[in-house]
Amino acid sequence: MSHAKISPSSLNYRKQCRSYEPTHTDNAAAQEGTLLHAAIETKFYDALDAEQMDLVDKCLRFLKPMEEGAAKVHSELKVNIKLGRHTTFGTADVVIEKGDLGYLVDFKFGRNSVPDAGENLQAMAYAVGVFDAFPKLQEIQVWFLLPRRDETSHCTLSRKDLPRVRKTLETLYDEVTQPSPPRTPSSACQYCNLAGDCAALTGSALSLQQGLDPLVIPETAMPSEMTPEVLDTVALPLARVLDKWCDSVKRRATELAINGHEFDHHKLVSRAKAVSINDVECAYEQVKDMVPLDGFLRATKLSVAQLRSVAKQSAPRGKGKAAVEELNKRLGTLLPDDEDSQTRYLRKK
């Protein structure tokens, strides 16, 4: 799916820092979001597991009263947005026409919160595009549904609000598209593609100065002396930002070393990458005259997570969880103890 150069979904972050650039990664969460949106649009559910089907059901139940008596329901509607000299676009999950009232619904399948609809610049931008596309609409209810969090938020915009909203967004686009827009350290840095090479951010963070809002520096640099509140609200957000900066430092230094620069205190070393074979059955066919089966099996590392996933996908619909439990029961003592098999870490709520 293509993205607008300055997409509506990035506007709340760009409001914090005019130089913010999102990181477009095709990770598991993004793939799942695409799958769930497609399931709602096409009403095809065979690719969903039980948890995903529950999320889709929540969305469909949420839409049902809005769709009753509607003149038209638009799914995955491309919305073109005109803001003065700027143009952008986005994809509205659902737009419902009901007389002079419209419903604009956006599903957020992640685990993190999003700004409330009344403060959400993405919602405002989409509403501008929907008002322009459907001249009969005089009022739009914008709804955000977060089914994993069982949360909703909404606001109502009327056509008379359109000039004010359009001007607010146009001003932001003017500031974002100016040459060398200012860089402002903020909570948006945690998700910014430029964080690793941002002089404003690293200069502020590494100087250990106070006063950055909302990204601040702990009074003590010793984690053992930090309170849980400081770790939660200050240190962990800062650590995510500095992780990106550290990765950028290592990447730049490695590039210089590869190109011939010799550092006084560091040297370039190499190590073999871990290589895995996807088709184990085919691999054995190619080497079975060289390697006995028992030796081949000893050299093969079995992924329990993948085995559980295959069992779940192969089970009849609604029986995936039971299939995984049966697999665990059959493997029994071959599985590691729970304490050893669990990796624990903190994730941003």
pLDDT tens, position by position, 178-225: 998 998 888 788 788 887 777 777 655 544 333 334 456 677 767 888
Asked if 28 and 138 sit in the same domain, the reply is: yes
In a domain, 271, yes or no: no
In a domain, 166, yes or no: yes
Q: Is-contact 11 125, C-beta < 8 A?
A: yes
In a domain, 231, yes or no: yes
Radius of gyration, CA atoms only, the chain? 26
In a domain, 87, yes or no: yes
Per-residue confidence (pLDDT) for residue 240, from 0 to 100: 77
Range from 48-57, 61-70, 266-275 carrying the lowest mean pLDDT: 266-275
Mean pLDDT computed over 286-313 = 84
Helix H or strand E segment including 338: helix 338-341
In a domain, 274, yes or no: no
Domain stops at, among 176, 195, 222: 176
In a domain, 348, yes or no: no
Q: By C-alpha distance, which of 28, 60, 55 is closest to 109? A: 55
In a domain, 2, yes or no: no
Helix H or strand E segment including 286: helix 280-287
What pTM was computed for the model?
0.61
The range of the structural domain enclosing residue 25 comes to 8-176
Domain stops at, among 156, 176, 196: 176
In a domain, 347, yes or no: no
Q: By C-alpha distance, which of 18, 19, 35 is closest to 27? A: 35
Q: Average model confidence (pLDDT) for the chain?
A: 85
Helix axes 236-258, 199-206, angle to 10 degrees: 120
Asked if 58 and 172 sit in the same domain, the reply is: yes
Mean pLDDT computed over 82-101 = 95
Q: By C-alpha distance, which of 145, 139, 160, 44 is closest to 97? A: 139
The two structure tokens encoding residue 154: 């909404």
Asked if 172 and 198 sit in the same domain, the reply is: no
Residues counted in the chain: 349
Per-residue confidence (pLDDT) for residue 327, from 0 to 100: 86
Mean pLDDT computed over 44-72 = 93
Domain stops at, among 116, 146, 176: 176
Per-residue confidence (pLDDT) for residue 211, from 0 to 100: 38
Number of independent structural domains in the chain: 3
Per-residue confidence (pLDDT) for residue 210, from 0 to 100: 38
